[in-house]
Chains A and B, each alone.
Chain A
Amino acid sequence: MTLTAEDHQAAAAAIRATRARRARRSAIIKHFFLASCTLIMIYPLIWLFMSSLKPDNQIFGDLSLWPSAFQWNNYPEGWNGLYISFGTFFKNSAFVTILAVIGNVVSCSFAAYAFARLEFKGRTILFALMMMTLMIPYHVVLIPQYLLFLQAGWVNTYLPLIVPKFLAADAFFVFLMIQFFRQLPRDLDEAAMIDGCSPFKIYWAIIIPLSLPALATAAIFTFIYTWEDFLGPLIYLTDIHDYTVPLALRSFLAQDSVSQYGQMFAISVLSILPIILFFVFFQKFIIRGIAMSGLK
């Protein structure tokens, strides 16, 4: 009693078939699960977008996503829905955000380079202090910072939103960059030292070019955080001409003419558009950044 070659072939074919069937079935189940999750996850966003095109009376209580009539007017009307055009608010937001990104990347990479790569007396203790500031909730320093900026006459300017970024106040990004810099082989610094580089030249010619992914991650998250930031502008900006987009959007909501839902959604869509675009184009950095450091 031995197995013939045909027996082996038949058995192999049967096994292949079962395996393929099983794989297909489990793939279908998984895709079904994931697709339904995705639908639930994304539905609100789709709804937001579709509602921005609906007439106001169709927004509530109507499950259908499709607008009964496309109200493209919601966009231009919403844009001018406050007595100042949203163009101003977008410009304000862009101004604050761009400076914040520059400030954060420069100052945090400076600090991170010192902590990750340079030797100096007191490094351990300063590093520990830096890590401690990571854990301090913003609300604890909020009031004294406000008082400080009030003293300085900076309230109702953009300075309180921008200057801290140039002082590496967001320790999280320092930490993120330290983690990245530490992965770069130290031999490179040493080779550069022997090649005649000063510490600044090593930073500029070796560390920075090799850390572009980390810098990009920091820049992207700074962009998103600053763009979405609400508390800061809420406290420091009092003149509506200086409002950033989130603040202006909130005043839209607080207005008594709450019946302009279509317009409000239209502006909401526009306000998150830059973030969505960033997300689409820089997904790789964003996802790596989170895996690396647990950014939100």
Chain B
Amino acid sequence: MIYLILLLVFGLIMIIMAFTAIHHKNLQVAVIASGIISLLASVVYVFLAAPDVAITEASIGSALTVVIFFYVLNKIRRSNDQE
């Protein structure tokens, strides 16, 4: 029962974060929100007895992807500054 409640809470936070990622004006906030989705998704995978997928999701979804997005955002901002 407690697992079900936790899963529902995580699902709700994930949906809110997804809306934030789409609609927020600041791109950095949007990227961090998408990282939070991956982090919570990995916790949900552990609850659903899929630890393999959880490790992949945590390290790729919430670490590497966010860092790549930030590098690309930086690159875009710099090339905008130069013009």
- Do the two chains belong together in a single complex? no
User: Which residues in B have some Cβ–Cβ distance to A below 8 Å?
Assistant: none
User: Which residues in A have some Cβ–Cβ distance to B below 8 Å?
Assistant: none
